[in-house]
Structure 1
Amino acid sequence: MQDFLLFAAVGFAAQIVDGALGMAFGVISSTLLLSLGTPPAVASASVHAAKVFTGTASGLSHLTHGNVRWSLFWPLALGGVIGGVVGGVFLTSVDGDQIKPWVLGWLALMGVIILVRSTREIRLRHVPIRGAAPLGLVGGFLDALGGGGWGPTVTTTLVSAGEPPRQAVGTGNAAEAVVAAAVSTTFIVALATGHWRDLEDLRQYGTSVAGLVTGGVIAAPLAARIARVLPVQPFSWLIGVLILLLAAIQLVGPLLGR
């Protein structure tokens, strides 16, 4: 029961941040699981199982508040599903840690770009649809590898390109639920076909996943409302700072552990 309440609290806090700023649920949850000694593939599978529920709740909440841009949702979701499936297969076969520094470098660059733009007058514009599917493809692949790459990649890129922040967050979160379902299905198929043999490890984290789901679902409506009322410029600044902090934590953590 104590573990359930701990992960419920983590899920609630992570979803408040994720639902309001469009990122961090996967990163926070994955980091906690990895710190407990969870294998990377098991951590990713656990977080994606949770995100099917939290992402759906978040997406519905954002839809209620008018934060979802449907013309952007469909290509993002389609590209994300393809990238997520490829990433899930890759993760169950190969260690993805080797590309992690490159991903973090890209995220840090996006954070700097957003911070620079947030100090100026922000010119909002809808992101062209033609770039949404490739963006979803990259975001889905990175998300499957680390359990938390969708929001930092997709939401950050959309905001840096000028998409209104609340629509970037709402559309990204809604598409993420579809991607999480695809990635979770990939892990299930890998287990069923014998391609992945960590079933016993996965069962050990059922309480953790249940806690993350419970806390995240409770927080989703509140987070969507926060995203709707936050002013554009401070909203963009918060996203930029969060990206840099997450990148720094992920880069410095392994160095401190040596």
Structure 2
Amino acid sequence: MPELTEFWIFLCVGFAAQLIDGALGMGYGVISSVVLLASGVPPAHTSASVHAAKLFTTAASGASHLLHGNVNRRLFWLLAIAGCIGGVAGAFFLTQMPGKLIRPYVFGYLLIMGLLILWRCLRQGKERHVMPGAFVAPLGGVGGFLDAVGGGGWGPVVTSSLIGAGAQPRQVVGTVNAAEFVVTCAVVAAFVTTLLTGIWSEGKGLADHILPVAGLVLGGLPAAAVAGFLVKRAPRRPLTFAVALLVITLSSYELICASDIFAPENTAQETVSKPSLAEITK
């Protein structure tokens, strides 16, 4: 059964992505979004599906970090509130854009996220204590908006920026992961609202992606449960480098394929759609 094969593929993707996310504070959303988009899922459906899966994984991951003392409560609330505002705005923006039009731009954004992760891997700086300042709220808002639009990006934007400013990695990863649960709830609520009110006209096909979402959830939950432990033990640089290369490679490939949409010779004829992951696994 090709559907069952697709479920197991996404279960493995969810487990690996959440292991990386638990250790680095980034990776689950970006990796899951790249794989879903590459399998032919529209951008808005991808973001909604990934955030639905993240409801469960971020809850488990945030609880694990809280249990291990990795959360700065003051920074948590500042990021969570700003992230919710940005995330809701991003969700409404995404649902009003045609999927075929925005798809190349989403991959371009994910490519930038991959380069940002790679830059974070190669850059080393001294740690210092960073208290919530004027830049934290705008950072949370931008991170929430881009996370909703791209289906991932909260970690690469917020975690990398705070660690780049010199904050202690363990506290940043734990706090950003915990705040991500609140932001994810807001984004999912925004998607549901647009669906129920009819604002999102293309949202009815979400049920077609229930197996990939189930795979992402069931694969990610076991890894999320040990996130607090992973952030203390996992080798950060090799994992960061691997995530960056994966995202850059997949995004670059999809951008090359998507560029055919804008080719002059294709304006008067239909482009041939790529096979989905389910079709490939038949």
TM-score range, shorter chain: 0.7 to 0.9
| Post-superposition CA distance 1:178-233 (Å, at most 9, x none) | 11111111110001111112333100111211111111111112333121234xxx
Shift of 1:135: 0.8
Residues 244, 139 of structure 1: CA spacing in aligned structure 2 closer, same or farther, 3 A cutoff? farther
Shift of 1:79: 0.8
207, 210, 213: which one aligns with 2:214: 210
8 Å contact kept, 2:87–2:145:
yes
5+ residue gaps in structure 2?
Answer: 261-282
Q: What is the TM-score of this pair, normalised by structure 1? A: 0.88
**1:152 aligns to what?**
156
8 Å contact kept, 2:61–2:226:
no
5+ residue gaps in structure 1?
Answer: none
8 Å contact kept, 1:54–1:217:
yes
**1:134 aligns to what?**
138
8 Å contact kept, 1:21–1:169:
yes
| Post-superposition CA distance 1:60-100 (Å, at most 9, x none) | 01111111111111111111100000000100112544476
Q: SS at 1:216's partner residue? A: helix
8 Å contact kept, 2:110–2:247:
no
Larger Rg: 2
Residues 107, 139 of structure 1: CA spacing in aligned structure 2 closer, same or farther, 3 A cutoff? farther
Measured in 1, the distance between the counterparts of 2:153 and 2:184 equals: 11
Q: Between the two proteins, what is the percent identity of the paired residues?
A: 49
| Post-superposition CA distance 1:99-157 (Å, at most 9, x none) | 7646744763564255232xxxx421232312221111000000001101111111111
Task: Tell me the amino acid that sits aligned with residue 239 of structure 1.
Answer: T
8 Å contact kept, 2:34–2:247:
no
Q: Tell me the C-alpha RMSD between the 2 structures.
A: 2.3
215, 225, 229: which one aligns with 1:221: 225
1:124 and 2:103 equivalent? no
Measured in 1, the distance between the counterparts of 2:114 and 2:130 equals: 19
Stretch deviating more after TM superposition (29-38 or 145-154): 29-38
Measured in 1, the distance between the counterparts of 2:214 and 2:106 equals: 30
Measured in 2, the distance between the counterparts of 1:110 and 1:14 equals: 14
**1:88 aligns to what?**
91
Measured in 1, the distance between the counterparts of 2:24 and 2:157 equals: 12
Residues 197, 256 of structure 1: CA spacing in aligned structure 2 closer, same or farther, 3 A cutoff? closer
- Paired residues in the alignment total 251
